[in-house]
Amino acid sequence: MKSMRALALLALAGPLVAAAQVSYPQTYYRDPGCAGPNALLWERKDRLDQWQQDIDREAADLDRVKARLDGEYRSLDWTDRTAVAAYNLRSDEYNRRSDEHNARVRRMNGMASKLNADSEDLAARCDGIVVTR
């Protein structure tokens, strides 16, 4: 009998608990000092996202160049010094572009790591609230 009464009270209390839950708009911050830094973090993320798209396009282009060089290499006439020299020039250019691309990726990864650390710091400063746009 007591368990039935407890179950009935629990069933009645459920909607009250749900009604008491507070829902905050996306721009709610416990600390008003969180809004500005949060907006700056989102701007940094947007720039990194754009940079990532540029890097992805460049990587796809490098993949196409590499596939073309691989095809040329397989059919290269090694007795033709002019053809070998021309291939080597194209290969060197690919390697140079690839090195530059890899350097940009390393820079972006460093910036992304810094953004993640700054985001974690802001979330900790803002009482653990996950700040969103």
Residue 23 in any domain: the answer is no
Mean pLDDT, residues 50-65: 97
pLDDT of res. 32:
67
| CA–CA dist 104, 41 (Å, integer) | 21
Q: Is residue 51 a part of any domain in this protein?
A: yes
Q: What are the phi and psi torsion angles at 27 (to 5°)?
A: -95, 10
Q: For residue 53, what are its two tokens?
A: 């798209």
**Which residues lie closer than 8 Å to 9 by C-beta, 6 or more apart?**
none
For 97, phi and psi rounded to 5 degrees? Answer: -60, -40
Task: Please indicate, yes or no, if residue 95 is contained in any of the structural domains.
Answer: yes
In the chain, the percentage of residues whose pLDDT exceeds 70 is: 71
- Residue 17 inside a domain? The answer is no
Domain extent at residue 80: 33-125
* Residue 30 DSSP symbol: S
In a domain, 58, yes or no: yes
The share of the chain scoring above pLDDT 90, in percent, equals: 57
The overall pTM is greater than 0.75 = no
What total of structural domains would you count in the chain? 1
Identify whether 28 is part of a domain. no
